[in-house]
Amino acid sequence: MITTTRRQFMAGIAATSGLLATRSWAFNNNSHHSLKPIPVIDTLNSAETPVRLDLQMAQHNFGNGTLSDTFGINGTYLGPIVRVRKGQETAFELTNKINEPAAIHWHGLHIPGSLDGGPHQALEVGATWKPVLPIANPASLNFYHAHTHGSTGYQVYQGLAGVLIVEDDNSLAADLPKTMGVDDFVLVLQDKKLDSTGSVVFSPSNVNDTLAVNGTLAPTLQKVAPGLVRLRVLNASNGAFIKLSLSENQPMHVIASDGGFLTKPVSTDFIILSPGERYEILVDASHPVSLMTVRFDDEEIIAKPGIVDTTSKTTPVMAVALVPDKNKRGFTGSLPTNLSVLPAAEPKAAQRIRSFDLSENVPQRFSSIAPTLGNRCYGKNQIAMGINGRPMDMNFINEAVPTGEYEIWRVTSQDGAHPFHIHGCSFRILKQMGVTPPDYASGWKDMIYAAPGSVSELLVKFDHKADSKTPYMYHCHILKHEDCGMMGQFTVEDHATPYSAPVAV
């Protein structure tokens, strides 16, 4: 078993540890905030009109009556839910109206590097970008967010993030809850820090004072149709891992991971989400039930075969109380037995193995030049982080990958459990932190954890191109680590000669 426990929770977490949910609490306690719906832009029936996304400066009330300085997309905080359909070409029009350059990345989408929205594609102040995205993904929950070199963490924290839902023929025909706002809900979970006035303020710490759900401070309340309810959950925190469970020891039924449906529902008492990770779950809301959370640091994670958990003993805190409303009519079906057909993950199909070692320190010769590379570190004594000994360098290509060939990527960590994300693809986890991943992580993924003393392996193939002008990224999704240099970039070309930069020493 792997354990990492050097850093402990902030004391502020304990102050909120008493909010255990019960059915009587869900009905009678008045301290929760009603969950505000996120606006939806639906292109399922027509993708001809461009989806307009305006990045703007704002002030936002997180539910406590205090205005906080924020960024928003078409609003005061976060962006709209955008629904697209597989096979469409969806036009977008993004305009940067904030006071600094900003790139918007389409996390999870299988698109060419020229459309990926990585740090090479930052919009200057006042500029507009008009990409047309060919939607190739199967039905899945995806995430668009700031990916500006050295500023990703700050801009995402301030509100430059949103949800993009891909639907396909399978998902639209599936016997599942799918009436948004009735039996189908998106939940964007984010760790937040409050100052003495109650304003939300930026913090580079992984775990802070409180939790926000869709831009509203927890605990929140959502009235739902009685019966099975679908929750599409995104951990959009900068650095906090989140353990999700249900009140009264009720099981949850996981139906989809980052890249789409599982083969069948997986019933579990809890799931773990790293920053950037997504899962869809079904919950029995015939009676009041609450979604409970424990936010924890990257060094408080453990793994054994089929299980990932945390060493944190913090009492779960309520995120959302789901209260059935008999006036809402929703899904009347039962738990499905089958969801999709997934090909077997065959390691023997791999034509090569690549290795990636994540570290919060780099060799002296790189740390001395790190400040010139545009990376930004927040620790007092932190100069640079890196992968394979190298901090992120916008002018250096770390890997060259041929299209259409399976590879095994081995990911390790020198310090802490790092959530590793790869652009432009979905992959299958072969082992995570040295062991078999949980069943709910057996489907298509674009996030995997790496921890000290173990090896994580994934099987991946790239079907879209990315050249040296707009390469794909791979990085830790603890955003302060990404900003500090724990990121690399790679090209994908037809018939490319495979290349990996030497490990720096």
In 322-407, alpha helices (H):
364-367
Same domain for 56 and 143, yes or no, is yes
Over residues 140-195, the pLDDT tens digits come to 999 999 999 999 999 999 999 999 999 999 999 999 999 999 999 999 999 999 99
Read off the DSSP letter of residue 218: S
pLDDT at 30: 59
Q: Which of 325, 328, 323, 326 is nearest to 26 (CA)?
A: 323
In 439-505, alpha helices (H):
479-483
Mean pLDDT within 231-245: 98
pLDDT at 14: 35
- Report if residue 105 sits inside a domain: yes
- Report if residue 6 sits inside a domain: no
- Report if residue 18 sits inside a domain: no
Give the whole-number percent of the chain exceeding pLDDT 70.
Answer: 94
- Nearest-angstrom CA–CA distance, 191 and 63: 15
Instruction: Please identify, among 126, 144, 173, the residue that sits at the C-terminal boundary of a domain.
Output: 173
pLDDT at 242: 98
- Position 12 pLDDT exceeds 80: no
Give the whole-number percent of the chain exceeding pLDDT 90.
Answer: 89
Instruction: State how many domains the chain has.
Output: 3
- Report if residue 80 sits inside a domain: yes
Same domain for 156 and 183, yes or no, is no
Q: Which helix (H) or strand (E) holds 193?
A: strand 184-194
- Position 6 pLDDT exceeds 50: no
- Report if residue 234 sits inside a domain: yes
Q: 466-493: string of b/e by CB count within 10 Å (b at 16+)?
A: beeebbbbbbbbbbbbbbbbbbbbbbbe
- Average pLDDT, rounded, for the chain: 93
In angstroms and rounded to an integer, the radius of gyration of the C-alpha atoms of the chain is 21
- Report if residue 32 sits inside a domain: no
- Position 121 pLDDT exceeds 50: yes
Q: Residue 10 — pLDDT band, cuts 50, 70, 90? A: very low
Mean pLDDT within 301-319: 96
- Position 38 pLDDT exceeds 70: yes
CATH number of the domain within which 159 lies: 2.60.40.420
Same domain for 261 and 362, yes or no, is no
Mean pLDDT within 433-438: 98
Q: Residue 17 — pLDDT band, cuts 50, 70, 90? A: very low
Same domain for 264 and 189, yes or no, is yes
Mean pLDDT within 435-446: 98
- Report if residue 38 sits inside a domain: no
Same domain for 387 and 275, yes or no, is no
Over residues 124-140, the pLDDT tens digits come to 999 999 999 999 999 99
Domain of residue 168 covers 43-173
pLDDT at 453: 95
Same domain for 274 and 403, yes or no, is no
pTM of the model: 0.94
Instruction: Please identify, among 118, 144, 173, the residue that sits at the C-terminal boundary of a domain.
Output: 173
- Report if residue 16 sits inside a domain: no
Same domain for 133 and 257, yes or no, is no
Read off the DSSP letter of residue 336: -
pLDDT at 232: 98
Mean pLDDT within 424-435: 98
Same domain for 485 and 354, yes or no, is yes
pLDDT at 380: 72
Residue 476 pairs in a beta bridge with: 420
CA 135 to chain centre: 19
By the 10 Å C-beta count (0-12 exposed, 13-18 middle, 19+ buried), 101 is classed as middle
Over residues 326-362, the pLDDT tens digits come to 999 999 999 999 999 999 999 999 999 999 999 999 9
pLDDT at 346: 96
pLDDT at 371: 80
DSSP string for residues in 275-313: TT-EEEEEEE-SS-EEEEEEEE-TTSEEEETTEEEE---
Same domain for 164 and 183, yes or no, is no
Same domain for 110 and 136, yes or no, is yes
Q: Residue 430 — pLDDT band, cuts 50, 70, 90? A: very high
Instruction: Please identify, among 292, 324, 356, the residue that sits at the C-terminal boundary of a domain.
Output: 324
Same domain for 122 and 206, yes or no, is no
Mean pLDDT within 380-399: 93
Same domain for 405 and 450, yes or no, is yes
Residue 111, C-beta contacts closer than 8 angstroms, at least 6 positions apart: 133, 134, 136, 424, 464
